[in-house]
Structure 1
Amino acid sequence: MIKVGILGTGGMGKTHARQYAKIPEVSLIFYDRDPQRAAEFQQLTGGESAPDADRVIRECDVLDVCLPTHLHLEYASLGLRAGKPVFCEKPMCRTTAECAELVELSEKTGTPLMPAQVVRYFPEFRTAHRLVQDGKVGLPAAIRTRRGGRFPKGSADWFSDFALSGGVILDLMIHDLDWIRWTFGQVERVFCQSLTFTGIKEKDYALATLTLASGALAHVEATWADPGGFRVTFEVCGSDGMIEFDSRLYPTLRTTTEAGSVSESPLAPTDDPYYREIREFLDAVASGSPPPVSGLDGLRAVALAEAAIESARTGKAVTPGRG
């Protein structure tokens, strides 16, 4: 059996727990400082409720950090120092400097660290990544992504505090920033503007333009102010074709080349991306292989988000850190 320790039993803690329940060899131990939430989580998962985080870290084989963003460094560090492989919800940390601490600690202790950049596992994003890597649409020239929904009110106590969450750019836009870097390569420059539609004190809409080393341009939009509910779209325009995705359409993905247009919804609906990332992490730990998404990947995603935040603040283009 593999004992997985979960710290944080909010939305992502529950999401991860549902995936672990699909793996027969996994048992759960968890901690939440709120007794009522801990009791609800125990009823939901059948896991063992620990009296404190120290016991979770001491007794688990693998640590899953699902706490608010500003707590990631503290508790992921405790896990790594204890020699426990760490699966950390995105963003990996609140700042690039904190990410660098985690990466260094992971390397120093020889303990695996994987940020949960789950969009890499969503079938349409994974298929588009493969099509681009295989050259099916030629040389990418323009990329557009949009991700948005209503403000996550269940976490309003910390989500709406920029110092704790990093706002809509670090928490939401980071999904697409990571996917763009993974799929299209190094980003040379970031220019971003942001504004507020709703009553929260921080910006709830951002639009960034990325200049890639390849010469391609990416327009990345993120919002917590969409009254129509959650929606994700992307377009990839290449020299030989186009890939389009809209989460509200079915089939969701369309690829157009000179040969014609193909619409599809890749992979089975039951192939849950949250399950796939967790399964691949556990498999990597078991085999001694590097995690499929590295700590350095997590750092570079946060560096892109920080560049966008700085650009929105100053009104100037920013060169992102490389990590």
Structure 2
Amino acid sequence: MRVGIAGVGFMGSTHAAAWAETDARIVGFIAETVEEAQPIAQQYGAKVYADYAALLDEVDVVDICTPTHLHVPMILEAAAKGKHIICEKPLALNVDDALKAVQACRQAGVHLFVAHVVRFFPEYALAKQIIDQGQIGRIATLRLLRGSYRPKKPVGNWFLDESKSGGILMDLMIHDLDYARWVAGDVESVFARKVSAVHQGSPVDYGLVVLKHRNGAISHVAGAWAYPPPTFRTRFELSGDQGMIEFDSQATSPIESLIIRPHSEAPDVGLPSSPVRESPYTTEIKEFYTALKEGKTPRVTAEDGLAAVQIAAAAVQSAHSGQVVYLESLGEGLQ
């Protein structure tokens, strides 16, 4: 299977390393400039394409790792050419665009997989399995935390432009919003707050989202772009009427000092670590690849990506309005 990767930033490089662990062939890359893509293309013995259309003409599947605001146009173009698609999260910045992408892929008969990688982290996957087995009874409350430093780029930091990234609620916290829905089911209402909605221009950001699930469960999701690089920490507490599951990425760490330093060796975007031998990003790509080859359904579908966008977009709306947002059924988009 011939694979093309759009975007050569940190996620594009991460996905390329994952594809290299399969028997698929990375045909080429596309980036904002040809020069930007040359090093990674040489690393994988691939070609640099001058434009997206040319890349699509020579691949079977395209892996989209570009800034979020570019996802939907690239999905639509790939679907029109009959190419299968893997897209980094979030699928889109709003529900209408996400639904348009899902429907276009259905009509074209191509697969669309959204890379919500938290479902592939072993601690999160194991907790889901324990809950599905009924070991903690009926799920009642979920508390989820994801904290990192504010994304940094030498130039053109699109992460800090909410019109391009959706901000902390859409870009960072959508991971746990998706996980909460995966564990506790569809969401009925969303209430959110975030620092940057009150203090514009703040050098850090913090968000809190409360979800009410249709089965009565409640999720409290917190996210921070407030730590010094390269810190990334996660935590969850999942409670049922017969027990609880806890995880804290810092639980086995000694006392540490977190000091903001002017020059820090850290990637542009914080990524959580995993103690397992195989990277969860590799596990994710392998599962998507198997789904493409064998027609199996992976643990993240296009409809899951759509639902995650709906929840995150409602959180963004709530944070700016100060009101609870009630979610409407997406109808066929989630069937």
SS in 1 for 2:129: helix
Change (3 A) 1:76 1:54: same
Displacement of 1:7: 0.6
How many angstroms apart in 2 are the aligned matches of 1:118 and 1:32? 23
Q: Over aligned residues, Cα RMSD in angstroms?
A: 2.1
SS in 2 for 1:91: coil
SS in 1 for 2:8: coil
Alignment match, 1:257: none
Alignment match, 1:111: 110
Change (3 A) 1:83 1:139: same
Change (3 A) 1:163 1:268: closer
What does residue range 127-146 of structure 1 map to in structure 2 within 5 Å? 127-146=126-145
Tell me whether 210-219 or 13-22 shows the greater mean CA deviation.
210-219
What does residue range 94-105 of structure 1 map to in structure 2 within 5 Å? 94-105=93-104
How many angstroms apart in 2 are the aligned matches of 1:162 and 1:107? 29
Extract structure 1 runs of 4+ deviating beyond 4 A.
Answer: 197-203
Q: Which structure 2 segments of 5+ residues have no match?
A: 254-273, 331-335
- Overall identity of the aligned pairs, in %: 38
Alignment match, 2:188: 188
Displacement of 1:118: 0.7
How many angstroms apart in 2 are the aligned matches of 1:285 and 1:243? 33
Q: How many residues align?
A: 307
Alignment match, 1:79: 78
Indicate if the aligned counterparts of 1:167 and 1:204 stay in contact, CA closer than 8 A.
no
SS in 2 for 1:293: coil
Task: Tell me the TM-score normalised to structure 2 length.
Answer: 0.87
How many angstroms apart in 1 are the aligned matches of 2:283 and 2:296? 16
Q: Which structure 1 segments of 5+ residues have no match?
A: 252-266
Displacement of 1:283: 1.0
How many angstroms apart in 1 are the aligned matches of 2:193 and 2:107? 38
Alignment match, 2:245: 243
Displacement of 1:296: 1.1
Tell me whether 161-170 or 223-232 shows the greater mean CA deviation.
223-232
Change (3 A) 1:319 1:137: same
Alignment match, 1:217: 218
Task: Tell me the TM-score normalised to structure 1 length.
Answer: 0.90
Indicate if the aligned counterparts of 2:26 and 2:44 stay in contact, CA closer than 8 A.
no
Q: Which amino acid aligns with 1:180?
A: A
Change (3 A) 1:14 1:192: same
Tell me whether 2-11 or 201-210 shows the greater mean CA deviation.
201-210
Tell me whether 283-292 or 80-89 shows the greater mean CA deviation.
283-292
Indicate if the aligned counterparts of 1:160 and 1:202 stay in contact, CA closer than 8 A.
no
Alignment match, 2:324: 317
Displacement of 1:73: 0.5
Alignment match, 1:262: none
